[in-house]
Structure 1
């Protein structure tokens, strides 16, 4: 018997971010139940936000402050809904030229 296929949510979110922002500078890395959203800046990756899976297809979002703390964002829903809200709220952080 083969194992059931588990969707690669990190790749899915990275694709959604590329469509929503119009560029491919955003990267997504899985960290336990979190999906870390990072921006490629020169030779480094800055962690901007995270989506945390709270149900089968339900996520909540948080923003990483300059002090390194996570602050909740008023964004929750399925992966697409949460990504759309995060991109709208944090648009300046997704600017590849900043």
Structure 2
């Protein structure tokens, strides 16, 4: 049991290091999404380009936009986790018969 908890602690420390190191080495760099990067490239290629579609609703701030994206990710991850867990549970029940 002690080796399992040591292993978990080491994995937790490794996860923290993986998250913090890029933040330290990237310094004050700006994080932006692929949509913003694509918009910049399109404007470089064709400065007169006008989008053919506007968003129905623009979030009031970047924080709200990030929150909504995080909620969307959590719902998707929960759905995938539920489906995979359900499939494994059915497989385990079938193998015990």
The verdict on a shared fold, with TM-score over 0.5 as the criterion, is no
Bigger RCO of structures 1 and 2 (CA < 8 A, at least 6 apart): 1
- Relative to the length of structure 1, the TM-score reads 0.21
Q: Which has the larger radius of gyration?
A: 2
Identify the structure with the greater helix proportion: 2
Higher strand share: 1
